[in-house]
Amino acid sequence: MSVPKVEEKLFQNRYVIDAGHPHIRIVDPARCRSGCRQPCLVCCPAGCYTLDAGEVVLITDGCLECGTCRVVCLARNLEWKYPRGGYGIQFKFG
Amino acid sequence: MSESFDAIVVGAGPAGNAAAYTLAQAGLAVLQIERGEAPGAKNVQGAILYADALERLIPDFREEAPLERHIIEQRMWVMDDESHIGTHFRSNDFSRPPHNRYTIIRAKFDKWFSKKVQEAGALVICETTVTGLLRDGAGKVIGVQTDRGDGAVYAEVVVIADGVNSLLARKAGFRAELAPKDVALAVKEIHFMPKEAVESRFNIRAGQGVVIEMMGKITQGMMGTGFLYTNTDSISIGVGVMLSDLMAQRLTPWELLEQTKAHPSVQPLLEGGEMKEYAAHLIPEGGFHAIPRVFGDGWVIAGDSGMFVNAVHREGSNLAMTTGRMAAETIIDLARAGLPMTAEHLAAYRRRLDDCFVIKDMKKYKDLPDIFHANNQFFTTYPELVNGAARTMLTVDGVDKRSKEKEIFACFRERRSLFGLLGDAFKLWRAFR
Ligand SMILES: Cc1cc2nc3c(=O)[nH]c(=O)nc-3n(C[C@H](O)[C@H](O)[C@H](O)COP(=O)(O)OP(=O)(O)OC[C@H]3O[C@@H](n4cnc5c(N)ncnc54)[C@H](O)[C@@H]3O)c2cc1C
Ligand code: SF4
Ligand code: SF4
């Protein structure tokens, strides 16, 4: 079975992007490298966390605002807020 | 906005809407704040609406609420990779009005509910995120800080109904961070098709609906379930698993969803549909033991933010509406008696919850989450065994039935000791009793 990319799913969604104001931030990238099993890579339903040359990279544009990454980041290495009012995912159906 | 209100409600989901509606109906000055573009824009559900909780608020809701289909049939499927075995319960009784369960689409439903809240007299402000609670020197909550204008708004009491993540309660120290073993992540898609296709595939008439709950191999050994619900001209399909299990393996949530959709029992039901949205949301499933303190000086918590979900029966929105309503009724009583909104007086809210089905039901199943966590055979071995047993009995191949029974029993014994089998049965009996 060929699994469609998550981007194809996210493409169906409606977002109001707050350019330049990501609502989630990795506090200390060094802690992602040392000792963390990096559950955010597997658990994020929007694939916002990827590995690039050994670094965990976070791009929040497709974020569904579920909160999963914050809960599984047991190192408490994320600064996690909701987007400003009116921005972010706007579910058409939910 | 340096105005002052009798009550501020944070969030316009079912909990916040029930609270704001009840408060406004009683004539209190209510401000409700929602961060989405419109109420519902941030919210995700399966979604089954249980009529009772809403009926207590808006008795004639059936005449105007955007309801998709009333449920006349419930299927429970236990699955392995190739098969499912299960039960169907369908009754003509469920076709007679007033119906007791409906499928809904949350974005539409929440918008409608919010219109009722506004008609009742509450001031509803969207596109505004509450960033924190305002407190006086003694720690009493006196209002909220928002990301709009000068930001601060004041009230006698704040109803915290900001959903499962409840950043507000956490920031204020009213609740701890969610533990991965207490929350499930659900991912879902909605697939559109002509309503005639929905009706012929599920053997139903106009307005009637079917729900399918799935467990077994579709969650790949993780504690969780899948679901498929019929809407008017669409189908909602999703799967949810506990975060503690998800983080311990390598499959992404969308791969899990793709596998569910590709299961040979599911795939034909979705065929030809057009996928129009992919959503994800957490569900609090820690049960009774995970409920935090739900009141304090100047504040109460309702709905998912108070972890009020009965995962066994997939009830959440009804608990949200009920807790929201009871929080509001407590506040109304105090306001009418001229009493201050202190922890001492707001404690009446918790007593109300204790006396109704909300806490009673959650107490009843208090040990179930732990049992499922400690015994993943309920999600792996058993589904395979029962499907295997059915396949053996239903395959006509010249082997006599008694030998088949022996073979099945041997299979069970081999995969799980007799002691284990009895123990599992006992554990489940104790938990469901
Ligand atoms: C996939 C799935 C299937 C489900 N199926 C069912 C089902 O079939 N039946 C059922 O009864 N329940 C079901 N549930 C559970 C149900 O959806 C929830 O229990 C219910 O939505 C809880 O309502 P709530 O009002 O407490 O929270 P929510 O509905 O989450 O509402 C919280 C609101 O607060 C807003 N908010 C949050 N923070 C802020 C802030 N800082 N400032 C301003 N606004 C804020 C949000 O935007 C949101 O509108 C399901 C849940 C999921 C995820
Ligand atoms: S879980 Fe947290 S610490 Fe670990 S890689 Fe992800 S963001 Fe970094
Ligand atoms: S909140 Fe959810 S969707 Fe957004 S980055 Fe975190 S895990 Fe991914």
Q: What is the CATH number of the domain that holds A32?
A: 3.30.70.20
For residue A55, is it within any domain?
yes
For residue A1, is it within any domain?
no
Nearest CB neighbour to B41, from listed A67, A76, A90: A90
Q: How far apart are CA B412 and CA B424, in angstroms?
A: 13
The residue to which tokens 């002052």 are assigned: B4
Nearest CB neighbour to B37, from listed A12, A16, A66: A16
- CATH code: domain B4-68+104-176+292-355 is 3.50.50.60
How confident is the model at residue B429, as a pLDDT? 66
Q: Identify the bridge partners of residue B7 per DSSP, sorted by sequence position.
A: B30, B157
ipTM of this predicted structure: 0.97
Mean pLDDT of all residues in A19-37: 95
**Is 2.40.30.10 the CATH number for B181-284?**
no
**One-character DSSP codes across B122-147:** -EEE-S--EEEEEE-TT--EEEEEES
Residue A1 pLDDT exceeds 60 = no
pLDDT band at A2 (very low <50, low <70, confident <90, very high): low
How confident is the model at residue B244, as a pLDDT? 96
How confident is the model at residue B369, as a pLDDT? 82
Residues framing ligand 1 (Cβ under 6 A): A 82; B 10-16, 33-36, 42-48, 129-130, 161-163, 167-168, 186, 188, 238, 281, 283, 303-305, 309, 314-318, 320
Domain count, chain A: 1
For residue A35, is it within any domain?
yes
Strand pairing class (B84-90; B67-79): antiparallel
Instruction: Read off the pTM.
Output: 0.94
Nearest CB neighbour to B106, from listed A12, A66, A94: A94
How confident is the model at residue B149, as a pLDDT? 81
pLDDT tens digit string along B411-426?
Answer: 887 777 767 776 777 6
How confident is the model at residue B1, as a pLDDT? 45
- With CA atoms as reference, the chain A residue closest to B255 would be A3
**Chain B residues whose beta carbon lies within 8 Å of the beta carbon of residue A12:** 275-278
Where are chain B's structural domains? 4-68+104-176+292-355, 181-284, 369-432
Please, are residues B185 and B243 in contact by the beta-carbon 8 Å criterion?
A: yes
**Chain A residues whose beta carbon lies within 8 Å of the beta carbon of residue B191:** none
How confident is the model at residue B426, as a pLDDT? 67
For residue A75, is it within any domain?
yes
- Low-confidence spans in chain B with pLDDT less than 50: 1
Residue A23 pLDDT exceeds 90 = yes
State the Cα angle at A70 between A68 and A72, rounded to 5°. 70
Q: How far is the CA of B320 from the centre of ligand 3 (A)?
A: 24
The reply to whether B4-68+104-176+292-355 and B181-284 are identical in fold is no
Q: How far apart are CA B222 and CA B190, in angstroms?
A: 23
How confident is the model at residue A79, as a pLDDT? 98
Cα–Cα distances (Å) from B74 to B91, B210, B236, B383, in that order, read 9, 6, 15, 19
Q: Domain residues for A42? A: 6-90
Please compute, for residue A6, the number of CA atoms within 13 A of its CA located in the half-sphere on the CB side: 25
Q: Is the CB of A44 under 6 A from ligand 2?
A: no
How confident is the model at residue B399, as a pLDDT? 85
How confident is the model at residue B326, as a pLDDT? 98
Please, are residues B362 and B287 in contact by the beta-carbon 8 Å criterion?
A: yes
For residue A52, is it within any domain?
yes
Instruction: For chain A, say whether B284 makes contact (Cβ under 8 Å).
Output: no
| Buried/exposed code over B403-422 (b: 16+ C-beta within 10 A; e: otherwise) | ebeeebeeebeebbeeeebe
